[in-house]
Chains A and B, each alone.
Chain A
Amino acid sequence: MSSTDRVLSVAGLKVSFGKAQVLDGIDLHVDRGECLAVVGPNGAGKTTLLRALSRLNESTSTSIEFDGKPLPDSAYATVMAGLVHCPERRRLFPGLTIRDNLELGARRLRKQPDTKAEDLERVFSLFPKLKERASQSAGTLSGGEQQQCAIGRSLMGRPTLLLLDEPTLGLSVGVKEAIIGSIQTIKDAGTTMLLVEQDVNFAFRCADRVIVLEHGQVAREGPTAQIAADPYVKQAYLGVA
């Protein structure tokens, strides 16, 4: 695989909060068009990993290359470079309308030719509920709709790499299925993704490759089929004896 097809490569990423070493030397890479899933128990450091990549958290590393260049240091510059983070718990702007939320997602493209209308249509066709409620304020949406809106907001920025943190958290089974379906659609349309999921079954359905993160370190890594077949993973995550 040529290096231009490597969207992200991380070496030796460490994060600590005071004395607590939350990430302890992570190496990983994501290739263009692929979906890399990061799974692991609560508190493993999955969110911290994404926040380090989008520069919301302080971190140290040997190197992080993004899209062929060193990853910038500030949150602003990373967003501008195309790394878009759809955060845990959605984090919509509750007082703004859905349309406003979505359009704000296109902010990073403000210096480029305007694609807002076109992208808005794409998001609406993916999530028709949002179109219906476009002028409703985001705070009034149900959990699943809020998640759709959050994903939509990230897509509006046409991400080179989309970081998705726990998109199914707190959703009912039916709603989860719908979200899973749309994430697959997004992936099929060619969006490169780094997906953090607690629900391992779901992660495996979407991912090309999987990393198992435990205690701030990579415990297992490999193609989805290989990880799914791993006896340790089976026992610890899939509840199979």
Chain B
Amino acid sequence: MDVLVQGALTSAVIALVALGFSLVYGVGGIVNLAHGSFFMIGAYSAYAMSETGAPLLVSAVVGVLAATLAGVLLERLVITPIRHQEVAVLIATLAVAILVQSGVQFFYGGLERQLPGFVSGAVTVFGVTLQQTRVLAGLVALVTIVTVLLVLTRTPTGRMVRAVAQDEEASRLIGVRPERVTLYVLAIGAGLAGLAGVLTAPYGVLTPTMWLLPLTQAFAIVILGGLGSIPGTVLASVVVGFLDRFVAFNVKDGDIKVGLVTVAVILATLVLRPQGFLGKVAR
């Protein structure tokens, strides 16, 4: 039961980060290694705002907006000029991630920070006692993901985004500008990652290296689910989220081994089914 409830909450938050990463890859063919930085920017911006005495909700909104803005800037200033060189994008975004880390280190030092939670105390769900902040994070993440999926599948805008992901050139021929769609998707993906950062900050700690774990998880999920496949991403998030909790609860010192298991899963997937659960073998 612990694994089920906690797995569901963990999965939702992980999926929030992975979804943006996957969409950006699917739509723009961009492997954005700075994606985890949006998570961090969201958390730190909210923290900076709350330090000025702003209400928590305002701080949270500022966090999400800051991450979104960072996404726009990244797309315009870094990715656009080198968009069609996969390797260049990979390296440039990694460089950005490291620069953001040193920036945070410069302004805040290596010291870990704390963001107060919207709620405090514990609740018991299906017999499992949980911190309320964690439950709130899971629920908000879940609602957000469902909304994003609905937008993607049920609205003209979502249809356009999926069209670009499926055939960029054909989308050009019906009057879509894939560059713009990529920009919007990157901005929204950044906002989602920023939201995840804001949501997890109250029960985690803010450090200049906090971008790395969500990025690794997103990467694992996207490989597991099939590069660019949205249903695959959601499915893989659930697998990774539950696996994470399962290992933590059922393996001796599981908490320490979780990272190892994630990497093992990536490697196994690459070897056994390089296209992932729902991916295609190249286009």
Contacts and interface: CB of A to CB of B under 8 A. Distances in A.
Interface of A: 54, 56, 75-76, 79-80, 84-87, 91-96, 100, 103-105, 107-108, 153, 157
A93 B175 CA distance: 14
In the A-B complex, the 3 residue pairs with the closest CB atoms? A91-B170, A108-B175, A79-B175
A107 B169 contact: no
A108 B174 contact: yes
A interface SS class: mixed
B interface SS class: helix
B176 interface: yes
Contacts of B175: 76, 79-80, 107-108, 157
Given A76-B176, A103-B156, A104-B171, 20 more contacts: A56-B173, A75-B172, A75-B173, A79-B174, A85-B173, A87-B169, A87-B173, A91-B170, A91-B173, A92-B170, A93-B166, A94-B166, A95-B166, A96-B159, A96-B162, A104-B163, A105-B174, A107-B174, A107-B176, A108-B174
Interface in B164-210: 166-167, 169-177
B128 to A, nearest CB: 38
Given A91-B167, A93-B162, A104 B173 contact: no
B267 interface: no
B172 A76 contact: yes
Nearest to A105: B174
B247 interface: no
A96 to B, nearest CB: 6
Interface in B137-163: 156, 159-160, 162-163
Given A75-B173, A80-B175, A157-B174, A104 B159 contact: yes
Nearest to B163: A93
